[in-house]
């Protein structure tokens, strides 16, 4: 049996930040000064990072792996506070993530890495296999044979482009309600990410929310017909939230 998940209505925010203030452990990290925002079903939020900035500490806040100095963060109506680890575990099962780094366990094959989070959440093995095959076929494009072969190899023996596609697969396989993409186009050429954009459109249509951390060089690559919310960073501080349509 799968772990139970927190419930919410379609009108409730998927992710809420309320007057969040957090410092920084280095000049590369994003700081928040009483920042408030809500992300709802179908939203796509782009956070453009500076050349020297990293998303890791900010993402740790969103995942409840670290805590703000002030304010609160809620996912699907639930906070990350307390010691209700079973609840937190179930909450994280609904979040998909593409890491800035690879975050692969090197002693496992790529396929075992992709399966492991779902096995922890008691997803039936047959369902896991079906999900991996679905997203492998959908996201691999011309690299389908290479990606299928990579699933049986350890990460150290897989090309960076193929590993990045496998990161997409890992992030999407378990019907996430929130998808966090940290520079997901690294090592990917223009011809290779059309499938990712189409998949994100479909995830939005099914009710998922997307937070996309990009570098300035990726801005020209993001071409969505739906409205994108932009959170800007000024002098290291997350400073604004505005919507406009990308041409």
Q: Which residue has the higher pLDDT, 218 or 20?
A: 20
**Taking residues 204-233, what's their average pLDDT?**
77
When the pLDDT of each residue in the chain is averaged and rounded to a whole number, the result is: 85
Amino acid 192: pLDDT: 73
Q: In the structure, what pLDDT confidence band is assigned to residue 2 with cuts at 50, 70 and 90?
A: very low
State what percent of residues in the chain have pLDDT above 90: 55
Cα separation, 4 vs 197, whole angstroms: 30
Amino acid 170: pLDDT: 95
Residues β-bridged to residue 96? 179
The answer to whether 44 touches 200, Cβ cutoff 8 Å, is yes
pTM: predicted TM-score of the whole model, two decimal places: 0.88
Amino acid 239: pLDDT: 72
Residue 44 reports pLDDT greater than 90? yes
Amino acid 173: pLDDT: 92
Alpha carbons within 13 angstroms on the beta-carbon side of residue 4 total 4
The answer to whether 45 touches 229, Cβ cutoff 8 Å, is yes
Amino acid 189: pLDDT: 77
Q: What is the pLDDT of residues 110-156, one digit of tens each?
A: 999 999 988 988 889 999 999 999 999 999 999 999 999 999 999 99
Q: Which residues are CB-neighbours of 218 under 8 A, at least 6 positions away?
A: 183, 185
Amino acid 244: pLDDT: 43
Residue 94 reports pLDDT greater than 60? yes
Residue 246 reports pLDDT greater than 50? no
Q: What is the pLDDT of residues 25-34, one digit of tens each?
A: 666 788 899 9
What domains appear along the chain, each with residue ranges and CATH number?
Answer: 15-244 (3.40.50.300)
End-to-end CA distance of the chain: 45
Long-range contacts of 238-245 (CB under 8 A, 24+ apart): 238/30, 238/31, 238/32, 238/33, 238/35, 238/47, 238/58, 241/37
Q: Which residue has the higher pLDDT, 100 or 209?
A: 209
Residue 5 reports pLDDT greater than 50? no
Cα separation, 22 vs 2, whole angstroms: 34
């Amino acid at each position: 049996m799968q772990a139970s998940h927190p419930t919410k209505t379609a009108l409730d925010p998927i992710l809420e930040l309320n007057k969040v203030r957090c410092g920084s452990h280095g000049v590369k990290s994003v700081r928040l000064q009483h920042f408030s925002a809500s992300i709802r079903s179908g939203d796509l939020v782009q956070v453009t990072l500076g050349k020297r900035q990293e998303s890791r500490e900010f993402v740790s806040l969103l995942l409840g792996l670290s805590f703000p100095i002030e304010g609160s963060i809620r996912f699907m109506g639930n906070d990350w506070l307390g010691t209700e680890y079973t609840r937190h575990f179930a909450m994280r099962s609904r979040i998909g993530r593409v890491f800035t780094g690879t975050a692969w366990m090197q002693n496992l094959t790529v396929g075992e890495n992709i399966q492991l989070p779902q096995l922890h959440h008691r997803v039936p093995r047959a369902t896991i296999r079906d999900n991996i095959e679905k997203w492998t076929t959908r996201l691999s494009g011309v690299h389908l044979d290479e990606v299928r072969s990579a699933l049986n190899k350890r990460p150290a023996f897989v090309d960076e482009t193929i590993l990045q596609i496998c990161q997409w697969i890992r992030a999407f396989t378990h019907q996430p309600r929130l998808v966090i993409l940290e520079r997901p186009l690294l090592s990917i050429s223009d011809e290779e990410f059309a499938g990712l954009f189409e998949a994100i459109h479909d995830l939005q249509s099914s009710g998922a929310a997307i937070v996309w951390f990009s570098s300035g060089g990726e801005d020209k690559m993001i071409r969505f017909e739906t409205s994108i919310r932009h959170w800007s960073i000024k002098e290291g501080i997350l400073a604004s939230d505005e919507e406009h349509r990308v041409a």
